[in-house]
Copies of this chain bind each other. A is one copy, B any other.
Amino acid sequence: MLRAMSSNGSHGAAPMADWPNVRQRLRTHGLRWTPQRRLLIEVLAHTDGHVTGAELIERCRTVDPATIPSTVYRTLDVLEGLGLLSHSHGADGREEFHVQPVATHGHLHCDSCGTTWEIMADEAAAVVDSMQRSRGFAVDLSHLSVAGRCAGCSQARAG
């Protein structure tokens, strides 16, 4: 999938998140620290940006081929509950996970060229505010995904 994310696509960069304390946080919630979770967390700690569930499973499998999908998805749920992750659905409906603390943001997806951009809070203010005003609805920006046609493709089609 072609991406045009504004995040700095760092690879082995040091994690910014609270990964070192995950074990602690799990424990204070009565949750457990298992090898499987440790592996997924390690993978996530080296992930800066956006991944699909399937990608995460694949990465885990390069380390431990015995990785079971359902375990990964369940751990992802747990981690999301802890606020370390959030997920949304891409233009094709597939799950997409976002590691924190990349600032909360939504996505803009061009149906034509497949490129995805991030929408930061200030840009999304229009939606968030209007929904809050008109309906008292609190928009979950991290889950927002807007599809349509980007400027480039719009011009190409017009021309």
Chain A residues at the B interface, C-beta cutoff of 8 Å: 88-89, 91-95, 108, 110-111, 117, 123-124, 126-127, 129-131, 134-140, 143-151, 154
Taking a contact as CB atoms under 8 Å apart, the answer to whether A147 and B140 are in contact is yes
Taking a contact as CB atoms under 8 Å apart, the answer to whether B149 and A140 are in contact is yes
Q: How far is the CA of A144 from the CA of B144 in the complex (A)?
A: 9
Main secondary structure of the interface of A (DSSP, over half): mixed
Contacts of A145 in B (CB 8 A): 145
Asked if A151 meets B130 with Cβ closer than 8 Å, knowing A93-B93, A146-B144, the reply is no
Q: How far is the CA of A126 from the CA of B132 in the complex (A)?
A: 12
Q: How far is the CA of A95 from the CA of B137 in the complex (A)?
A: 23
Taking a contact as CB atoms under 8 Å apart, the answer to whether A137 and B123 are in contact is no
Closest partner residue, chain B, to A89 (CB atom): B93
Closest partner residue, chain B, to A142 (CB atom): B147
Q: How far is the CA of A123 from the CA of B137 in the complex (A)?
A: 12
Q: How far is the CA of A137 from the CA of B111 in the complex (A)?
A: 11
- Which one of A117, A131, A136, A148 has the greatest number of beta carbons of chain B within 10 Å? A148
Taking a contact as CB atoms under 8 Å apart, the answer to whether B154 and A148 are in contact is no
Q: How far is the CA of A145 from the CA of B106 in the complex (A)?
A: 12
Closest partner residue, chain B, to A136 (CB atom): B151
Min CB gap A20→B, angstroms? 29
Q: How far is the CA of A124 from the CA of B134 in the complex (A)?
A: 11
